[in-house]
Amino acid sequence: MTTYTILIVLSALVIFSYLFDLVASKTKLPSVLLLLVLGIGLRILVDKLQIHTYSFLEILPTLGTVGLILIVFEGSLELKYAREKNKVIKGAFLSALFILIATVVVITFIIYQITGQTLYLCFVNAIPFSVISSAIAIPSVSSINKKSKEFVIYESSFSDILGIILFNFAVANQHITAGSFGQLALNTVLILLLSVVACVTLLYLMGRLKHHIKFFLIISILIMVYAIGQSFHLSALVLILSFGLFLNNADAIKHAWFRSVFIYKNLSNDLTQLHQLSAETAFIIRTFFFVIFGFTMNIYELDNFNIIANGLIMLGSIYVIRFGYLYFFKRDHVLPEGFVTPRGLISILLYYNLPQHMKLVEIGTPFLFMVVLGSSLVMSIGLMSTRKRQTAQTEAGH
């Protein structure tokens, strides 16, 4: 491939992704689903033409991590805190926590039935399949009502954070002791302290930087701090969510000293530009990540009845648990939120970060691909049917 051919392909992917976003806004079909299909189509074409390609698997985790950071950051920049939202935040956290725990337990049992391996290995392998992907959930609910949208942003972000905490804890502690929980508590305190320091420092920098290149520097520092935190097994996604919330709500802090030091004249304009930049950068990263993931999939491995049957059982259990919890504990968030439990970027990242000796052969990438694809399909069908029913009810009311 020549340089110009590569540039044409990359540009075409971005154009297709933009068109997919337009389709998604009209149909509720997640653009991620279309990107996966595009990646699969490109793989089939490349195989038929016998074109030599790169080993994209090497860059997939890095792309995914940057995409996750930017998508959570973009979502948190849209959240305005008010005391009356404490109930929504608490409800979203409890929903993320209990649904995650219940799903991990059930999927651990399913994997145990499939593989017959130790419960510990089944448990570790179940975690990637149990976490809601904020990278898919947040963009997919952009046009639903504000109350449901806020719930999904908080819940999916909390699910990512709790999933990473549980994953790091499980991988690091094959034998759980009292010291394991002590280390977890220490890590939680450290990441909260790091979040406070990072939030205040970055806001101070934003007000003092006079150079015309400003926002990419802030995002780069944020990514670097995230990477440092993750290197020490801290759940640094807390930092990303905190920084977005802090920036968007800093002007609500009335303390005179804080306002004199940190609140500056152009803060509102800077936030608008930062949100726009993070959204567009996340769009580019998400485009390449999901196209590459689709491209790296060997769809011929899906021609296996056991993978399809077990994948459907796993998908069914995910939705039974979710709808059951929302129906009994969050009755006002059953529809359309019940359908919004996609597996995606975070599931792929956790799977690829699983140590090689812990991966179960029977639960490979075809299994992961099917659950990612299946959950996106169910979500899109659910969102579309809910919208049609709400439109019909509105027209009947008139």
Q: Give 237's Cβ-side CA count (13 Å radius).
A: 27
User: If phi over 0 gives left and psi between -120 and 50 gives alpha, with beta otherwise, what is residue 116?
Assistant: left
- Which pLDDT does position 192 carry in this prediction? 87
What is the dihedral angle through the alpha carbons of 149, 152, 154, 157, rounded to the nearest 10 degrees? Answer: -130
Per-position b or e across 95-116, b if 16+ CB within 10 A of its CB: bbeebbebbbebbbebbbebee
% pLDDT > 70, the chain: 96
C-alpha to C-alpha distance for 79 and 183, rounded to whole angstroms? 31
Between CA 110 and CA 395 the distance in angstroms is: 44
Q: Which two tokens stand for residue 170?
A: 């499980």
The one-character DSSP state at 341 is -
Structure tokens at 351: 């799977």
326-368 pLDDT, tens digit each: 999 988 888 888 999 999 888 888 888 888 889 998 888 888 8
Q: What is the rounded distance in angstroms from the CA atom of residue 239 to the CA atom of residue 217?
A: 17
In the chain, domain spans: 13-397
Name the fold adopted by 13-397: Na+/H+ antiporter like fold (1.20.1530)
| pLDDT (tens digit per residue) in 54-95 | 777 778 888 888 888 888 888 788 777 777 888 888 999 999
Number of H helices, E strands in the chain: 15, 0
| Interval 215-228: pLDDT, tens | 888 889 889 988 88
Band of the pLDDT at 390, cuts 50, 70, 90? low
Tens of pLDDT, residue by residue over 255-275, are 888 888 888 888 888 888 888
For residue 303 the two structure tokens come to 């021609």
Cβ atoms of residues 61 and 288 within 8 Å: no
Contact 128, 351 (CB under 8 A): yes
Please tell me the predicted confidence (pLDDT) of residue 57: 76
Nearest to 39 by CA among 378, 297, 374, 283: 297
For residues 70 and 49, what is the distance between their CA atoms, to the nearest angstrom?
A: 36
Distance, in Å, from the CA atom of 51 to the CA atom of 2, rounded to the nearest integer, reads 12
In the DSSP assignment, the letter for residue 252 is G
* Phi/psi of residue 11, nearest 5 degrees: -65, -40
Tell me the residue type at 164: I
pTM here is: 0.84
* Peptide bond just before 336 cis, omega within 30 deg: yes
Start-to-end CA distance of the chain, whole Å, equals 59
Phi-psi region at 319: left, alpha or beta (left = phi > 0; alpha = psi -120 to 50)? alpha
What does the alpha-carbon distance between residue 31 and residue 276 come to, in Å, rounded to a whole number? 19
Task: Give per-residue pLDDT as tens, 142-160.
Answer: 777 888 888 998 899 889 8
Quote the radius of gyration of the chain (alpha carbons, Å).
Answer: 21
Is pLDDT of 377 > 60? yes
